[in-house]
Amino acid sequence: MAHASANQPAHSTEHAAAAVAGHGEGVQHPLRIYLWIWLLLFVFSTASYFTDFLDKGIFRWALIVTLMLLKAGFIVAIFMHMAWERLALKLAILVPPLALLVLIGLMAIEGDYTFVTRLAAFVQ
């Protein structure tokens, strides 16, 4: 649909816009949604900045990670339009990073082990 008009130069902006509207991307969602997400990202960022004033502990960590994931989720879903892509692309892009969780888990265990070994070796 969008490509029907692609081979010939667009005669008027209205014409081209109408052709693209049929294609779907971008035009369908009004600017409002981006402004809202933008505002939301500001709020989350401010909130995560202020976690720095909290006592270090499990609650602060939970807050940091929650805000981080919320921000990341909104950026990917709305700003990067992932929410409107077909499932095939979503799966191809979002599933492989899950392998990283294995790496992170392994390295956390390994890190603790190395730390304990160093303690035993260097600190008498």
Residues that bind other proteins (CB under 8 A): 1-3, 5-10, 13, 16-17, 20, 23, 25-27, 29, 31, 34-35, 37-38, 41-42, 45, 48-49, 51-53, 64-65, 67-68, 71-72, 75-76, 78-81, 85-89, 91-93, 96-97, 100, 103-104, 107-108, 110-112, 114-115, 118-119, 122-123
Could you tell me the smallest distance in angstroms from the CB atom of residue 58 to other proteins?
13
SS3 string, the chain, reads: CCCCCCCCCCCCHHHHHHHHHHHCCCCCCCHHHHHHHHHHHHHHHHHHHHHHHCCCCHHHHHHHHHHHHHHHHHHHHHHCCHHHCCHHHHHHHHCCCHHHHHHHHHHHHHHHHHHHHHHHHHCC
